[in-house]
Chain A
Amino acid sequence: GDQVEQSPSALSLHEGTGSALRCNFTTTMRAVQWFRKNSRGSLINLFYLASGTKENGRLKSAFDSKERYSTLHIRDAQLEDSGTYFCAEGGNMGYKLTFGTGTSLLVDP
């Protein structure tokens, strides 16, 4: 079946710095979504992309369906950005999602 490879599995950032998360897909995807699981355990919907890039505050995501990858860039990281980030393929029609294995992000002072 479809697989989603997410990297890195864990990431540590100092406050104010930035980095990028990446997901590679084994087949051509119609759309990608990014979620963050916060300290309360809730999954927050960050981005949905069928193509191109989207930006929201200090987060920016890009999706290249032809090259089969998506990235999530975090700049000026804050303590509250800590959590586990998941990418998922699918969802174009609100259908079932296939998730990556997650990136555990820790932002420290």
Chain B
Amino acid sequence: EAAVTQSPRNKVTVTGGNVTLSCRQTNSHNYMYWYRQDTGHGLRLIHYSYGAGNLQIGDVPDGYKATRTTQEDFFLLLELASPSQTSLYFCASSDPGQGNSDYTFGSGTRLLVI
């Protein structure tokens, strides 16, 4: 059973549209992350959170908002979608201080902005 579940799997929206990507984790991890993956760039961190109500800015935050409503749920918001935000989005969770890495990724959400 997937420990990090993303929805939707695929999404098409128009330029200027409003999009919400959802992520739920059942790992009881404190940290959750949103990355985007584009050809030639690997994965780049958009936003992350270390607990409910917390939000930290990542490396490519422009045009994105995020909200962590519970320990399990982390949402990525695109309020005015642009074609440059066409990408594959990954959510992940982890728990610091374990002395090892238990990074767990979701299966990704493919977003197309036309």
- The answer on a CB contact under 8 Å between A91 and B108 is no
Find the B residue at minimum CB distance from A45: B103
A43-B105, A93-B96, A93-B97 known; A1+B43 contact, CB < 8 A = no
Interface residues of B in 33-58 (CB under 8 A from A): 33, 35, 40-45, 48, 58
Find chain B residues with CB under 8 A from A92 CB: 101
Stretch at the interface among B18-26, B67-75, B87-95: B87-95
Q: Give the interface centre of A33, A45, A96 by most chain B CB atoms within 10 Å.
A: A96
Say if the beta carbon of A69 comes within 8 Å of chain B: no
Between A1, A91, A94, the greatest number of chain B beta carbons within 10 A of the residue's beta carbon is seen for A94
Contact of B102 with A by CB under 8 A: yes
Q: With A4-B42, A41-B88, A100-B42 in contact, is A91–B107 under 8 Å at CB?
A: no
Contact status A42-B105, CB under 8 Å: yes
User: Is B100 close to A, CB under 8 A?
Assistant: yes
Closest to B59 in A: A1
A86–B101 CB distance below 8 A:
no
CA of A41 to CA of B10, assembled, Å: 12
Residues of chain A within 8 A (CB-CB) of B94 are 91, 94-95
Q: Indicate if A53 sits at the interface (CB-CB under 8 A).
A: no
Name the residue on A nearest B109 (C-beta).
A41
Query: From residue A90, how far is it (CB to closest CB) to chain B in Å?
Result: 9
The closest CB in chain B to the CB of A48 belongs to: B101
> Do B97 and A41 have beta carbons less than 8 Å apart?
no
Contact check, A6 vs B100: say whether CB atoms are below 8 A apart: no
> Which A-B residue pairs are the 10 nearest by beta carbons?
A99-B42, A94-B96, A94-B94, A48-B101, A43-B105, A93-B96, A99-B43, A91-B101, A101-B42, A41-B108
A-B contact pairs, 19 of them (CB 8 A): A6-B42, A35-B105, A41-B88, A41-B107, A42-B105, A42-B108, A43-B90, A45-B104, A45-B105, A91-B94, A91-B103, A92-B101, A94-B103, A96-B58, A99-B44, A100-B42, A101-B40, A101-B41, A102-B42
Which residues of A line the B interface, CB within 8 A?
A: 1, 4, 6, 31, 33, 35, 40-43, 45, 48, 86, 88, 91-102
